[in-house]
Structure 1
Amino acid sequence: MEALSLSEIEQGRYLSPRGPIGLMKRVYKYVLPEVRECLQFWRQDAEGIPDPELRKQALASIETKQFHCEGGGIYAAGNLSMRHILIPLIVAYQTISDYLDNLCDRSTSQDPDDFRLLHQSMLDAIHPEASPVNYYALRSEQNDGGYLHRLVRKCQEMVALLPGYSAAVQEIHDLAVLYTDLQVYKHINPDLREDALKDWWKEEGERAPHLHWNEFAAATGSTLGVFMLFLASCDPGLSSSAASSIRAAYFPHVCGLHIMLDYLIDQDEDRAGGDLNFCNYYDNPDIMLNRIASIVEWARKDVRNLPETSMHRMVIEGLLALYLSDPKVSEQREVRSVSKRLMKGSPLTRLFFFVHSRWIRKHMY
């Protein structure tokens, strides 16, 4: 990765970007090229997986979900001087997430113990002292040639280099546990998953009692809170209370907005694949629109008290722009209608990111 020059550091370019133009300059110059460099490394690694099904899902997850890593890489733009740690860490962690999601979505198993063991890798990845185990022990496909272990170890190596990580690790662990629980319950037998998710919500939903069960579940499915805490851990002076405040500012509303938008544009695709979609649990599109609009406002309110507030506001506007500019929106009549209404009266920042999201899709894929 290209190192920052002394002049760049003296000019403050290692600090959080102040506006959308500065952010996109960093995205184009640093984030996108370096994320893609990391992904190419893991793509080549995945090509050597001996088991054909594991190899197929690993390669498919990188091919079809590259934008997840690119979106997560935005957090490295918040501290360019630490991007040599943040980008490999975010890419490896998100690649584990996307790979396991593929394995569970298109699984040869519906065993919750299998899903939980697979996702133990995401918990091990955030604890440098953890010893990787055989995460495939409860499924027929076994031989990945060490691919998942290497991803876990890369995360462990990177988090160990973050000077403030000890203050954030408990908050990160908490989010990772919720993420793991969601992945277990949403991938079990379709006849059982809704009841399992609602029972889980009864246990955990007090964290956000104003959210519906599907909205709470969606919030647990985002990795953005973890990535923000990775960024915060670059600060050697990070305190546990500050890490807790950051987690609270991201979970549940910023995280929930992220995944609700993801499900919004995937409704036809999930219907065809028989996959659970959290946007399908509203009585009509108007209710769905109003709930997502409310989550947007809650998210904006939550980030107001965070340091570098402009960065977090840009994340929120960027999420809306990224998902609502997706080509899948125009292919679904109801989604197109909801998207137009969400974009109505958009601030200039959102429109700026909307244009750039379309440009990136057209010219960089």
Structure 2
Amino acid sequence: MHRVYRYVLPEVRAELAQWRSAAEQMPDEELRRQAIASMTDKQFHCEGGAVYAAANLPERHVLIPLIVAFQTISDYLDNLCDRSTSMSEQDFRQLHMSMLDAVTPKARLQDYYAYREEREDNAYLHQLVSKCQSCIAELPSYGVVYPYVKELVGYYCDLQVYKHVHPDLREQKLLDWWKAHQELAPNLSWNEFAAATGSTLGVFTLFLQASKSGLTVEEALNVRNRYFPAICGLHILLDYLIDQAEDIEGGDLNFCNYYESSAQTLDRMEYMVNESLHACTKLDNPRFHRMIVEGLLALYLSDPKVKEQQEVKGMTRKIMKRSPMTRLFFWLNSVWIRNKS
């Protein structure tokens, strides 16, 4: 936590200030509005993701700009698909090519706005992609992790495309997509698999691994297998758990709403918690990764939205019962930060 407060958070905010300044120069009003909103409303995504840089502090000058730029692309595109003017699958697919190009060394920049009317962004998206590419060029073991980074980013892009198309189409598209990839997570239902693909944590921990020299393929594959689907799935299911009332009101898709009852929701959440904690024991530096999992639980379950939903509040009490000291520490820390803000 000393590293996070002393180094990570100030440097994340400095990076975001630069990207906000760039966003403010966008000629197109709609693109500018969505870019600024994504950084205003989702700053904690970059702050949380950059915690991985605390595990290799000497390389934070590469990891923090990389994680912030990549997560900023993700949040910006999520706003463009979720809150903006298009419901075109072709448009969403082309926009998300930027994320694949961002993690692909020397990939050529494309016209990512080719299928939408709004397009004048003063090279904002190109700058973000180029920043990611320049950072990954400095990671000594990136070639080892690249196949797994590309795989996870590909799943993420598929999810963003299918979940944002017209509501009459999205569930069938998600089901068809899951059936084609069911063997990747045989113990998960379609909504849990989809949730797991929506997390960027697996990508961030692979960035961290790539910052170390001498990484082997076996080590990289082990990280991929431990984060996806368990830890990634827990991450996004927690997010959806606390957003249920909000998403029902807004007519947004929520993967927790597909459970048959609150009892089943609790059972599956506890399953994901146990799977994630077990996955941590199979990773190098297991205490760090367990800290990530406990931090996720504390961050989401201490959210003020929990108190507004009686069923979610009851589930939270059961999940937090007999919590280890690490989880309680992060719970109190999360509450303190929110109260301070």
Aligned pair partner of 1:67 in 21, 44, 49: 44
- State the match for 2:172 in structure 1: 195
Aligned pair partner of 2:11 in 27, 34, 44: 34
State how 1:93-132 maps to structure 2 within 5 Å: 93-132=70-109
Aligned length: 341
Matched position secondary structure for 1:254: helix
Post-superposition offset of 1:110: 1.3
Matched position secondary structure for 2:311: helix
Within 1, Cα distance between the matches of 2:313 and 2:79?
A: 27
- State the match for 2:153 in structure 1: 176
2:341 aligned with 1:357, yes or no? no
Where does structure 1 differ by over 4 angstroms across 4 or more consecutive aligned residues?
A: none
State how 1:246-257 maps to structure 2 within 5 Å: 246-257=223-234
Within 2, Cα distance between the matches of 1:268 and 1:189?
A: 21
For 1:167, give the aligned amino acid.
V
- State the match for 2:315 in structure 1: 338
State how 1:262-301 maps to structure 2 within 5 Å: 262-301=239-278
Post-superposition offset of 1:362: 2.2
Post-superposition offset of 1:107: 3.0
2:208 aligned with 1:231, yes or no? yes
- State the match for 1:319 in structure 2: 296
> What is the TM-score when the length of structure 2 is the normalising length?
0.99
- State the match for 2:120 in structure 1: 143
Deviates more, 1:92-101 or 1:339-348: 339-348
- State the match for 1:303 in structure 2: 280
Post-superposition offset of 1:244: 0.7
Per-residue CA deviations over 1:45-75 (Å, capped at 9, x if unaligned) read: 1111111110111000000000100110110
For 2:36, give the aligned amino acid.
L
Post-superposition offset of 1:142: 0.8
For 2:248, give the aligned amino acid.
R
Within 2, Cα distance between the matches of 1:185 and 1:86?
A: 30
- State the match for 2:136 in structure 1: 159
For 2:52, give the aligned amino acid.
Y
Within 2, Cα distance between the matches of 1:82 and 1:191?
A: 46
Within 2, Cα distance between the matches of 1:138 and 1:335?
A: 40
Post-superposition offset of 1:128: 2.2
For 1:333, give the aligned amino acid.
Q
Post-superposition offset of 1:31: 1.0
Within 2, Cα distance between the matches of 1:44 and 1:340?
A: 42
Task: Supply the RMSD in Å over aligned alpha carbons.
Answer: 0.8
Post-superposition offset of 1:242: 1.1
For 2:146, give the aligned amino acid.
V
Per-residue CA deviations over 1:245-297 (Å, capped at 9, x if unaligned) read: 11001000000000000111111221222111001001111110110100110
Within 1, Cα distance between the matches of 2:270 and 2:222?
A: 23
Aligned pair partner of 2:324 in 342, 347, 352: 347
Deviates more, 1:103-112 or 1:278-287: 103-112
Per-residue CA deviations over 1:19-63 (Å, capped at 9, x if unaligned) read: xxxxx1111111111111111111111111111110111000000
Within 1, Cα distance between the matches of 2:275 and 2:290?
A: 12
Aligned pair partner of 1:185 in 152, 155, 162: 162
Within 1, Cα distance between the matches of 2:197 and 2:263?
A: 24
2:159 aligned with 1:208, yes or no? no
What residue ranges of structure 1 are gaps of 5+ in the alignment? Answer: 1-23
Identity %: 59
- State the match for 1:47 in structure 2: 24
Deviates more, 1:235-244 or 1:246-255: 235-244
Within 1, Cα distance between the matches of 2:259 and 2:205?
A: 30
Post-superposition offset of 1:337: 1.5
State how 1:78-93 maps to structure 2 within 5 Å: 78-93=55-70
